Structure 1
Amino acid sequence: MIGVGIVGLGLAVKPHALALRDLEAAGRLRVVGGFAPSGDRRAAFAAAWGWPVFGRVDALLAAPGLDLVLVLTPPRTHLPLAEQAFAAGADVLVEKPVEWDAARAQALVEAAARAGRRAAVVFQHRFRPAAQRLKAALDDGALGEILSASASIRWWRDDAYFATPGRGMLARDGGGVLLTQAIHSIDLLLHLAGPVASVTGFARTSGLRAIDTEDIAAAALRFANGAIGAIDATTVARPGFPERIEIAGTRGSAVLAAERLDLHIVGRAPEVIDHGSAGGGGADPMAFDHGPHRAMIAEVIDAIAQRRVPVNDAATGLPVQRLIEAWLRSAQTGVPQSP
């Protein structure tokens, strides 16, 4: 049985804990315990979930039977924590983004390879049933050649969200709406439509919050497969709306709004998969079903048991970080950039 530990017991822990509880009840894994520097967070975690807590990260990493560490801490801490976990003989699953910037993310991937360990990344939107159906249709060629692929992420985050010290600041998060919020949908767009060859980007800070990162951004994209598209991302769209991905091909089109898919393929009846379209776009960023987290963690523990690379290997999280960095370079220079 796979033993799982959690490092970081803040905002991101709830969907992971719900998923772990389900998988533990099903006999798929055992939760070894959790660590956070804050005593209050450790106490709240223990009271909410009933799992052990550790006062030091090295004590958790030394716990018997630890196979996988969930790293749910701010991005700049991912690399050193992953290296500690690798040294302890454990694999890691890191919250998005893989690290603070693409260079450090690449270093984490390389550290895992040197240690002979697995490193996976939390991009749970790939595991939503509607997204998986769309991915299968694209892989099968049911929509034909992709001509247009775009995303719109018009979310809202309130003052309480930005009250966490350092949130929205470059030093802590590495970026704003692109790297911290919209990255899930941008990653899914790349997962579905393929890599981007060129991006022309715009970005600005609204002034609604005391942050030094962008909370409004837009870009025009040229994909490597010849398709073109656009991305619009913000956290100033009160009260927050379901994120959308729209793809048009030579044989059909699709609209994915959070967990609802409308699929139109030439010669077939329209297909709808509706698991809800609320997402986490409003003031409560955790207002979504934890089922995709459960499926994602299950994939990682299956990969460990089967001695293979998980489909959400950390290396697959590098393209979206490189695209975001190219986007912001374009916004600064006023010229298109290649990721």
Structure 2
Amino acid sequence: MTRISPERLRLAVIGAGLGSAPHFRSLQDLAGISELVYVYGRDAGRLAAVQVPDGARKTTRLEDILEDDSIKAVLVLTPPNAHLDMVQRAARAGKHVLVEKPLEIDLNRANALVEACETAGVTLAVMLQHRLREAALGLRALIASGELGQLVGAAAFVRWWRPQSYYDEPGRGTLARDGGGVLITQAIHTLDLLLSLIGMPQRVTGIAGTSPVHRMEGEDTAAALLHYSNGAVAVVQATTAAYPGFPERIELNFTQGTATLEGGEMRAAFHNGKTATAGAAQASGGGADPMAFDHAAHRAVLEDFIRAVQNGAAPAVTGRSALGVQQVIEAIMASSKAGSAVPLHPAAVIPVM
């Protein structure tokens, strides 16, 4: 991968919808190492109403970005079903890419997206920012130290709330635009973090559906068992029908202790009486306002991406590693439809860590 001069990285944002705000705030914080040159949107009227960082130019011509050789990287923040096309075009133009989660609406399209960047030789990072929260980094280091011992069992709970008005927005929670409901849009962060900590399961048993709380095409409630080769089992529960919304939580049980992550805070307790903590309580947008969260983790992913591009290194959250969570989400949905466990063939399992 080509190393780029350590001067400020000139980049562009493609897509300026609801999810762009924490990216803009992060780029303002990172103005010392990056320069936001363009913000692209298809709809001139909507784009005119978007507040962008000082100095950024709004454009409805994607060619302004793709044909500008000074632009070295792009942030793709469009709806999921437009990711593949935008990333393919950016990669062919030699732009490094950071894409908002999920990679795409299904695993096949996500694979094609990753392969497009690999073929073009450009960096691909994914905004799965929970991996870079302080508490998650602390827990990852603790697991790697071996102090907790062998994994016995795990659980992940995403009990969030979205009012019907959220799903009344065109495209929200649909298969065609978003790829599904709560699993691929909200719980993907916690599920990805779980997989990055304990690895991919051997098989998946799942059930998913839409509760009476919402009118939507995708699922707003799902549960799953992730079966591991060493006998460990992880329980997953995800919903956007739990009023008023609660902090997401991961529980990991090991032979020498237990660790929990809840709302940005990690606590571990060992059989020998030792304890450990990391991080601090923080909101994650689990209530009626999906943007009610601090942007520090977004900033961490963006800074890591910028440094990776400048140094010709791999980012912390690679595109290939983000395929794992989509593989598990598709297995949960397939299991729910089939009414039986779905094995993940060893040759097809995508490493997350």
What range describes the TM-score normalised by the shorter chain of this pair? over 0.9
Aligned with 1:102 (options 107, 123, 134): 107
Give the match for residue 74 of structure 1: 79
Which residue of structure 2 lines up, in the alignment, with residue 9 of structure 1?
Answer: 16
Q: Tell me the equivalent position of 1:28.
A: 33
Question: How far is the alpha carbon of 1:274 from its aligned partner?
Answer: 4.1
Q: Is the 8 A contact 1:46 1:52 kept in 2?
A: no
For residues 312 and 242 of structure 1, the distance between their equivalents in structure 2, rounded to whole angstroms, comes to 23
Instruction: Compute the displacement of 1:244 (Å).
Output: 0.2
Partner amino acid, structure 2, of 1:291 = A
Partner of 2:278, secondary structure, is: strand
Deviation for aligned residue 1:277: 3.8
1:135 is aligned, of 119, 134, 140, to: 140
- 1:136 alignment partner, SS class: helix
Name the structure 1 match of 2:98.
93
| Corresponding residue SS for 1:166 | coil
Alignment of 1:324-339 (within 5 A): 324-339=329-344
Maintained 8 Å contact 1:194/1:224: no
* Cα pair distance change 1:110/1:225, threshold 3 Å: farther
- Counterpart check, 1:169 vs 2:171: no
Contact 2:24 2:52 in 1 (8 A): no
SS in 1 for 2:258: strand
Equivalent residue runs for 1:223-238 within 5 Å? 223-238=228-243
Matched, 1:220 2:220: no
1:44 positional shift? 2.6
The answer as to 2:277 corresponding to 1:260 is no
Structure 1 partner of 2:349: none
CA distance in 1, matches of 2:53, 2:11: 17
Q: Offset at 1:146?
A: 0.7
Percent of aligned pairs with the same residue?
43
Cα shift readout 1:39-90 (whole Å, capped 9, x = no counterpart)? 2332233466552111211212223521111111111111110111112210
Q: Corresponding residue for 1:123?
A: 128
CA distance in 1: counterparts of 2:343 and 2:309, whole angstroms = 35
Shift of residue 141, structure 1, vs aligned partner: 1.1
Gaps of 5+ in 1: none
Deviation, structure 1 residue 268: 5.3
- What SS does the corresponding residue of 2:18 show, helix, strand or coil? coil
- Say whether the 8 Å CA contact 2:283–2:294 is kept in structure 1: no
> Is 1:45–2:50 an aligned residue pair?
yes
Q: Retained in 1: the 8 A contact 2:282–2:293?
A: no
What amino acid does structure 2 have at the position aligned with 1:125?
H
2:25 pairs with 1:18: yes
Structure 2 CA distance, aligned partners of 1:95 and 1:47?
18
CA contact 2:24–2:53 (8 Å) conserved in 1: no
Partner of 1:201: 206
Letter in 2 for 1:2: L
Deviation at residue 273 of structure 1 after TM alignment: 2.6
Q: Say which SS state the counterpart of residue 213 (structure 2) adopts.
A: coil
Name the CA shift for 1:172/1:63 in 2 (closer, same or farther; >3 Å). same
CA contact (8 A) 1:204 1:215 kept: yes
1:192 is aligned to 197
One of 150, 155, 159 as aligned partner of 1:154: 159
Deviation at 1:35, TM superposition (A): 0.7
Q: Choose which of 282, 285, 295 in structure 1 pairs with 2:300.
A: 295
Q: Are residues 48 and 66 of structure 1, via their aligned partners in 2, closer, same or farther at CA, if it must alter by over 3 Å?
A: closer
8 Å Cα contact 1:46-1:53 kept in structure 2? no
Other-structure match for 1:145: 150
On the 8 A contact 2:282/2:294 being kept in 1, the answer is no
Alignment length, in residue pairs? 337
Contact 1:127–1:292 at 8 Å: present in 2 too?
A: yes
Aligned mate of 2:315, from 310, 313, 335 = 310
Give the aligned residue type for 2:256. R
Tell me the secondary structure at the aligned position of residue 42 of structure 1: helix
Post-superposition offset of 1:225: 4.3
Instruction: Give TM-score scaled by structure 2 length.
Output: 0.92
Which digits, 9 at most, give the CA deviation of each residue in 1:165-196, with x for residues without a partner?
A: 11011111111110111000000000111111
* 1:73-110 deviation per Cα after TM superposition (whole angstroms, max 9, x unaligned): 11111111011111221011111111110011111111
Q: Call closer, same or farther: CA 1:315–1:110 in 2, change over 3 Å.
A: same
RMSD of the alignment, in Å?
A: 1.5
Matched-pair contact (CA < 8 Å) for 1:194–1:225: no
Q: Which runs of 5+ in 2 are unaligned?
A: 1-7, 345-353
1:17–1:49 CA contact under 8 A, matched in 2? no
Alignment CA distance shift 1:201-1:104 (3 Å): same
Counterpart residue type for residue 6 of structure 1: V
Residue type of the partner of 2:340? V
